[in-house]
Structure 1
Amino acid sequence: MSDTMDARATLDRLWKPGCDFLGSKVAILGGAMSWVSERNLVSAISNAGGFGVIACGAMSPERLEEEIVATQALTQCPFGVNLITMHPQLDALVDVCLAHNVTHIVLAGGVPTGATIRKIRDGGARVIGFAPALALGKRLVKMGIEALVIEGSEAGGHVGPVSLNVLAQEILPFIRDVPVFVAGGLGRGDAILSYLEQGAAGAQLGTLFAASTESIAHENFKKAFMRANARDAVTSVQLDEQFPVIPVRGLSNEGSRRFLKHQAATLQKFQNGDLDKEAAQLEIEHFWAGALRRAVIEGNVDDGSVMAGQSVGMVKEIRPVAEIISTLVDQAVEALERREARIHTPA
């Protein structure tokens, strides 16, 4: 028992910077997933000791206000809001967060301006940014970002090209001024522990929580996660470099196969002169319009976009959020106990 208590104390010391920054019992953030990270899941994560994050996505300021108020009715614990920096009403969305005393704002989907960072901090909230490379991470810290998330290509949804394993080695030894949270492909507590020991302050997980009891995702969506292997979560394919496709990781399905055919057909129209370059690009981009909602809310996992990280292979059952977090903590503690036993066992 004392070994377990010692291991838990070690874990608590390792992620204390993350817990202190977030105001949570464990330094585990919920990844912001459109249609999924809403009041029910966000409040469940925060109530279980983690840190829930509302995915604002394309919400209007009025719609975001409604979601914040509804979340606050379900939890007294801190939670954050993820805002897309390219949103045309970004300033108004920040105002809504500040007016409702949201404690943390996550700026995603591009490099935020210094003005936006200052506005959030002057308004009394903490500000978190994403760093896909060391140079950008250092720049963001100089601009006033108070914490960073480094997300590897193993993650679900929109992803960069570099794995978390590489990003962690590139960034964690060199950014010590602010807490750095790791994300992408995380599904076990012992894996989280390994990054804490490299200097991370905590971890962000999405896929495990998307398949939780409290997630409003359709039963078909969750069952697709349970059936999937890691190799089934693939990034969208770009057929021609003239027409860029933003890489998005999700489960391979009929929709993703049709997307390849759609690109090929659109490319042929462009080459035949039936479409100009701009119209062809728009036709490719519009293919997935509404596809995430189709999968998450309507349960059409054949034609919809089933965004999932490679950790989807570790989703074996639909469990409550509190149980997921408890299991992650237990796995980290057990890993610490095993390591101590190995170190102190005589040769």
Structure 2
Amino acid sequence: MLLDLERNAVTATESLDRAVSPQLAALWSRGTDFLGSRYAILGGAMSWVSERHLVAAISNAGGFGVIACGSMSPSLLEAEIAATQALTDKPFGVNLITMHPALDELIQVCLRAGVGHIVLAGGVPSGAAVKAVKDGGAKLVCFAPALVLAKRLVRSGADALVIEGSEAGGHIGPVSLMVLAQEILPVMRDVPVFVAGGLGRGDAILGMLEMGAAGAQLGTLFAATSESIAHANFKKAFFRANARDALPSVQLDERFPVIPVRGLVNAGTKRFLATQAETLRRFQANEVTREEGQLSIEHFWAGALRRAVIEGDVEEGSVMAGQSVGMVREERPVAVVIAQLLDEAEAMLASRGPAPASV
């Protein structure tokens, strides 16, 4: 099946029309029922990358694409949703950042467009935001970096959760997916829980499903696909990289906090360390206030992700990538990536032999 897809050069408008085994279908049935997709495989919302073409390709191939709203204005998001709907008639979601100043309006844009799943990320959503999503008839997905927060989010109205380990690309928490999975999956049974972070193979996804996950979210594997609009330089940086090259940003002094972001080490990351060191020196010499120093550090990466993804500056730009980047070696269509994940999961199931007959 995988070889056939590669020969046929699958495009964003073609579907991966493939049934899975009864065992795999049963394991992720809760996820597929919730998403309305053929496979419980979500595309991670990556700013500048998760736009109409990639999102539609993932949904058309049987997965569930998610638009990354990021800093888009309501009018831009409205146009992006409409453009995505023109490329697919399959379900997809929209990821909104809770700190966006126009969050209320962005939620209404999604609801008016008939988006069925809204992901609120980047912080704990307010009660008003949760109510707006729920009252509008959409399903609410939230990120839970710890069990206590997972329980709180479900109590507040989350219909599903994503637990994302520190192996993921972009902004990350401090805990690995394996630890989060052990902490959360056996306990959280009220809603579907999707896993994310460092996933690059179908057999690994299968293991998470058997632990109780409803499905998996992947970003890094999809960022370098044929349908991704990321610059050729950005994709080539992925192909050259190993897992150890995707490191979180380093904080030099607790007085100047740095939000951890995992990406490929380059000239920019090295210069960021030098900028922090110089800022610390100037602060200790009373040349700048702590507020001024913090602002200069936070502004260092302004526009850096766009420079890498769109303009191809992979030396000074921010090349966000998860540790699964070591498993990305060439540009392939989305449907081929998903087909391989299915092959790997099914091969693992088949290697165990037939299920024992019930007594």
Please report the TM-score for the alignment, with normalisation by the length of structure 2. Answer: 0.93
Match of 1:93 in 2: 106
Partner residue in 2 for 1:203: 216
1:62 aligns with 2:62: no
CA distance in 2, matches of 1:219, 1:140: 39
- Relative to structure 1, is the Cα distance of residues 6 and 24 closer, same or farther in structure 2, using a 3 angstrom cutoff? closer
Question: 1:7-26 counterparts in 2 under 5 A?
Answer: 8-26=21-39
Question: SS in structure 1 opposite 2:21?
Answer: helix
Equivalent residue of 1:256, what SS?
helix
Q: Output the amino acid matched with 1:309.
A: G
Counterpart selection for 2:94 from 61, 81, 84: 81
What is the root-mean-square deviation in Å for CA atoms of aligned residues? 1.3
Amino acid at match of 2:346: V
| 1:165 partner SS | helix
1:146 maps to 159
Q: Is residue 306 of structure 2 the alignment partner of residue 293 of structure 1?
A: yes
Listed as ranges, the matches of 1:75-224 within 5 Å are 75-224=88-237
Aligned to 1:328: 341
Find the aligned partners of 1:270 and 1:321 in 2 and give their Cα distance.
48
| Deviations 1:259-313 (CA, angstroms, capped at 9, x unpaired) | 0001001111111111111000000010000000000000000000000000000
Deviation at 1:339? 2.1
Equivalent pair of 1:220/1:299 in contact (CA under 8 Å): yes
Deviations 1:82-110 (A, max 9, x none): 00001111000001000100010000000
Per the alignment, in what secondary structure is the counterpart of residue 72 of structure 1?
helix
Mapped to 2, the partners of 1:57 and 1:101 lie a distance apart of 19
Q: How does 1:34-49 map to 2 (within 5 A)?
A: 34-49=47-62
Instruction: After TM superposition, give the deviation of residue 6 of structure 1 in Å.
Output: 11
- 2:293 is aligned, of 280, 284, 288, to 280
* 1:239 and 2:252 aligned: yes
For residues 35-78 of structure 1, give each alpha carbon's deviation from its aligned partner in whole angstroms, at most 9, with x where no partner exists.
00000000000000000000000111011101001000000001
Deviation at 1:115, TM superposition (A): 1.9
Distance 2:20 2:58 in 1: 23
Report SS of the residue matched to 2:300: helix
Partner of 2:5: none
Counterpart of 1:260? 273
TM-score with structure 1 length normalisation?
A: 0.96
4+ runs deviating over 6 angstroms: none
Hey, what's the Cα distance between the residues in 1 that align with 2:224 and 2:301? Answer: 22
User: What is the aligned counterpart of 2:65 among 15, 34, 52?
Assistant: 52
Partner residue in 1 for 2:353 = 340
Q: Distance in 2 between matches of 1:231 and 1:66?
A: 38
Unaligned runs of 5+ in 1: none
